[in-house]
Amino acid sequence: MHLPAALSNIGFWEMVGTWVIALTIFLEARAMRRQHSTESFWVIVGRLQELEVRRARRLLLTAFRGGQLSVDPSSWPEEVIDAAELTASRFDEIGILVRSNVLDEELLLPSWNNAILRCYEAALPLIAHQREKLADPSLWRDFEALAARAHGTPTPSYVRSTVPPMRSMRPIGAATKAGV
């Protein structure tokens, strides 16, 4: 059996070896990125589950469901403002990590999309108020972007929501001064 000249050439086998090494490096780098993203996910979940943050989310959502947030945010109780700001800031941090591709949104959103959406809707009047007050339209923009991403993410059937369905998602510009 006669091999073609290209197959018998040692340069061809060197090229195949180079491609195998390159493929191995690519697969290892991808596995490392996935591992880094998974580690980042657990750090983020830990930050979201800190007692202070859980209490802030609970207070914000309780006030929202109780109708306390239907007034101008300047009339909100100070502890609710603090809770909304902490919640928005924490989700904004996560949004920054998602935007920067440090955290894979496919790990985060299936389990956290309901919390993100509910907290965004509850904090929306304060976000709009603070943006206007501080003349900073970028304030909590990564939280807003994270909520927009979460809005398009279906909730897995194993995640059961205990809160009523969210009103339709509104962009920041759609919020009124009264926050309604």
Number of domains present in the structure of the chain: 1
Residue 88 in any domain: the answer is yes
Please determine, for residue 130, whether its predicted confidence score (pLDDT) is greater than 60: yes
Please, which pLDDT band fits residue 169 given cuts at 50, 70 and 90? low
Residue 7 in any domain: the answer is no
pLDDT digits (tens, 9 = 90+) for 47-105: 889 999 999 999 999 999 999 888 999 999 999 999 999 999 999 999 998 898 888 88
Tell me what the mean pLDDT of segment 16-37 comes to.
69
pLDDT digits (tens, 9 = 90+) for 7-18: 555 566 676 767
Residue 10 in any domain: the answer is no
Residue 163 in any domain: the answer is yes
For the entire predicted model, the pTM comes to: 0.68
Please, which pLDDT band fits residue 178 given cuts at 50, 70 and 90? very low
Residue 97 in any domain: the answer is yes
Task: Find the Cα–Cα–Cα–Cα dihedral 108, 113, 117, 120, rounded to 10°.
Answer: -10
In order of 43, 63, 78, 125, the CA distances from 145 in angstroms are 21, 24, 26, 16
DSSP codes of every residue in 78-139: HHHHHHHHHHHHHHHHHHHHHHTTSS-HHHHHHHHHHHHHHHHHHHHHHHHHHHHHHT-TTT
What gap in Å lies between CA 133 and CA 140, rounded to an integer?
Answer: 14
Domain span at residue 142 reads: 51-174
What pLDDT is attached to residue 65?
Answer: 92
Residue found by looking up tokens 């108020």 in the block: 129
| % the chain with pLDDT above 70 | 69
Residue 37 in any domain: the answer is no
Tell me what the mean pLDDT of segment 142-169 comes to.
66
Residue 107: partners with Cβ closer than 8 Å, 6 or more residues away:
37, 38, 41
Please, which pLDDT band fits residue 22 given cuts at 50, 70 and 90? confident
- Asked if 50 and 88 touch (Cβ cutoff 8 Å), the reply is no
Neighbours of 55 (CB within 10 A): 13
Residue 93 in any domain: the answer is yes
What pLDDT is attached to residue 41?
Answer: 76
What pLDDT is attached to residue 64?
Answer: 94
Please, which pLDDT band fits residue 180 given cuts at 50, 70 and 90? very low
Residue found by looking up tokens 């802030």 in the block: 56
Residue 23 in any domain: the answer is no
